[in-house]
């Protein structure tokens, strides 16, 4: 494989078509949650990673199986999937390392992640880093909530509904607002 060539595969999961993008060392350089149809997903991946070529996922089969297991059953550990974060800013990389350690079925708030990072006032910056996450759900940004365990934002297709669905698959049920909260 050419040293600069990126390959990708579309992966069918319970929540829709996802994608993994990897380099010549079988390091994941990006992943994505569903973006509509498989063709829409392919177009999005090729827009983000110009020149990426669709290929069999053999080099990243462990990542494919882990991704499917997590999104289909809400269990599984993607911590062993090797990510290439060379293009990720240092602050975001540190946030992703903390978030990556949150196991399925658990959540943290943006503020808790900021505190663990050593920057207790940086909850908003943590949220922005989550919005830029190039590795969903390997870096499980869906497990990071707003203050008060509110859903907060979610940049994947379907927005907060997708986040809630992913959390519920992992056994996390957030309190839904009642008529009196509206």
Among all residues, which ones are annotated catalytic?
A: 141
> Which position has the token pair 């060539």?
5
Q: What is the DSSP string of the chain?
A: --TT--EEEEEEETTEEEEEEE-TT--EEEEE---SSHHHHHHHHHHHSTT-EE--SGGGHHHHHHHHHHHHHS----TTSPB--TTS-HHHHHHHHHHHTSPTT--EEHHHHHHHHT-TT-HHHHHHHHHT-SSTTTS-GGGEEBGGGB-----STTHHHHHHHHHHHTT--PPPP-GGG-
Structure-block tokens of residue 86 = 């060379």
């Amino acid at each position: 494989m050419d040293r600069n060539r990126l390959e990708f595969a579309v992966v069918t999961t319970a929540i829709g078509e996802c994608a993994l993008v990897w380099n010549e060392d079988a390091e994941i350089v990006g992943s994505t949650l569903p973006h509509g149809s498989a063709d829409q997903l392919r177009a999005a991946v090729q827009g983000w990673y110009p020149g990426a070529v669709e290929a069999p996922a053999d080099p990243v089969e462990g990542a494919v199986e882990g991704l499917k297991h997590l999104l289909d059953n809400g269990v599984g550990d993607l911590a062993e999937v090797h990510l290439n974060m060379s293009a990720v800013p240092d602050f975001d990389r540190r946030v992703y390392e903390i978030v990556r350690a949150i196991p399925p079925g658990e959540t943290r708030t943006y503020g808790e992640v900021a505190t663990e990072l050593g920057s207790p006032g940086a909850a908003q910056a943590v949220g922005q880093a989550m919005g830029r996450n190039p590795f969903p759900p390997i870096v499980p940004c869906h497990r990071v909530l707003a203050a008060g365990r509110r859903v907060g934002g979610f940049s994947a297709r379907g927005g907060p509904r997708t986040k809630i669905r992913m959390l519920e698959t992992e056994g996390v049920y957030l309190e839904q607002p009642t008529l009196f909260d509206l």
